[in-house]
Amino acid sequence: MNELARLKPVPGAKKNPKRVGRGPGSGHGRYSGRGIKGQGARTGKGRPAWFEGGQMPLQRRIPKRGFSPLQRKEFAIVKVSDLERFEDGATVDVQAMRKAKLFKQLKFGVKVLGNGELTKKLTVVAHAFSSSAKAKIEKVGGKAITVLETLEKEGG
């Protein structure tokens, strides 16, 4: 006989299960610890933790606000002032912005916002621009080009 077949649990580690409904002498006779009638006395009595006894549940009582569109387009945001780190006359595209760590995660695309000032003439290629960002880039002699425009030029 091998060693695994002789293994036994440590004394006191295993307890016998509670035997309910075995007469008054057991201490758990008659109603078997379930009380008299009612929801808890029935079989299948388990209810989820959020069950409130038939009361209108909390998640249905509190007011609902707002709307979350399913096709939401979430952009990685880059400020105009962040573009100041590139050399004058450079072409700044999404890959260059990623290399410069101007955004943490590329989601739907990159949107350039008009926060801050720009003094260098840059050609900026991004998925979207705010009107103020486009104005600031063009004011110093640069170009604000959307990715779609570059794809159209290359394709046709």
Per-residue pLDDT at 153: 73
Per-residue pLDDT at 142: 93
**Rg of the chain over CA atoms, in angstroms?**
35
CA distance 129 to 118: 14
User: pLDDT tens digit string along 6-24?
Assistant: 999 999 999 988 889 999 9
Mean pLDDT of 43-71: 88
Q: Which CATH number does the domain housing residue 122 bear? A: 3.100.10.10
CA distance 150 to 123: 12
CA distance 151 to 82: 25
Residue 105 lies in a domain: yes
Which residues lie closer than 8 Å to 92 by C-beta, 6 or more apart?
A: 83, 86, 122, 123, 124, 125
User: pLDDT tens digit string along 119-132?
Assistant: 999 999 999 999 99
User: pLDDT tens digit string along 66-111?
Assistant: 888 888 889 999 999 999 999 999 999 999 999 999 999 988 999 9
Residue 124 lies in a domain: yes
Mean pLDDT of 32-51: 86
Residue 44 lies in a domain: no
What 3-state DSSP class applies to 67? coil
Domain count for the chain, please give it.
Answer: 1
Domain that holds residue 136: 75-155
Per-residue pLDDT at 97: 93
CA distance 153 to 83: 24
Residue 3 lies in a domain: no
